[in-house]
Chain A
Amino acid sequence: MVFAVRHTDVMLKLLGAPHRTDLVTSALRLAQALLDEGAAVQVWACGDATALTCAAFGDSKPVNVAERTVDHPSTATVIRELLTAYPDRLDWYVCRFCCAERGRSEQIAEVLKRPPSQFWQHVRATGKVVAMGVC
């Protein structure tokens, strides 16, 4: 079956790794701001950015032993909530190769794994590409 990439206004090409800088937070804030403005957005996560949506994270981060009653949502939960809130205007893709290479093939159901050989389809299916970080 041929996969047709849904056209978006902006693609966030998220290659930077989490836990290095505030890049991931900036990407999420930018996505939310674009969605607030009515734009359609797709995120293509490569490299260690594929870790953000690992199914193994569960809904929450491990318990904070200093504040056991405070819930800290995992990035998988935050991204799932974002996708659920904007089903018609947000798509989150993860690079299938990077997922396999880095042991992250088990992803949350809301994201789509795509082969890197099809990456240019996504570039063509968006008005602008914003490159965020490097692998």
Chain B
Amino acid sequence: MATTDNTLLIIERAHRGAVETQFADTLFFVRELHRQSGGVHVALRGLAASYAVDTTYEAALRIAGRTLDTLPDPRRLLRQLLDDGATVFVEETDLSALGARARERLLPGVRRVTGAELVSRWSDYARVWFF
């Protein structure tokens, strides 16, 4: 449950660069904010809902003889964020849009929420930031 000094970070823009971004993606900074602030809540919506869906896909590409395997890994970072104690929501509608089995592949610990329910909670937070 949110407290009066909590921050809700809404992430809806996803997959914003792989080769140029690598480790320094949105969730990297969210994790750092979680550390600095003492705790954040994260809401994944839009295409960012895909961050909460497990996959066996390994992000790597071969270029100029190099296997570049340091590309962004949002599921790994999301697991770390959950281990750090952050609360993570994913919007039901956007999760469903990813396929009939997306719900079965939801990362453990991520909470499903409707869009309306999330909006109704905004006033519980001291800050609501689109990230």
Contacts and interface: CB of A to CB of B under 8 A. Distances in A.
Interface of A: 18-22, 24-25, 28-29, 32, 52, 61-62, 64, 66-67, 70-73, 75, 78, 81-82, 84-86
Report whether over half of chain B's contact residues are helix, strand or loop; otherwise say mixed: loop
B61 A25 contact: yes
B109 to A, nearest CB: 20
Interface of B: 15-24, 28, 31, 61-66, 68, 70-71
B70 A28 contact: no
Contacts of B20: 18-19, 24-25, 52, 75
Contacts of A64: 23-24
Given A70-B70, A78-B68, A22 B18 contact: yes
A73 B63 CA distance: 12
B64 A82 contact: yes
A66 B24 CA distance: 10
Nearest to A17: B17
B70 A32 contact: no
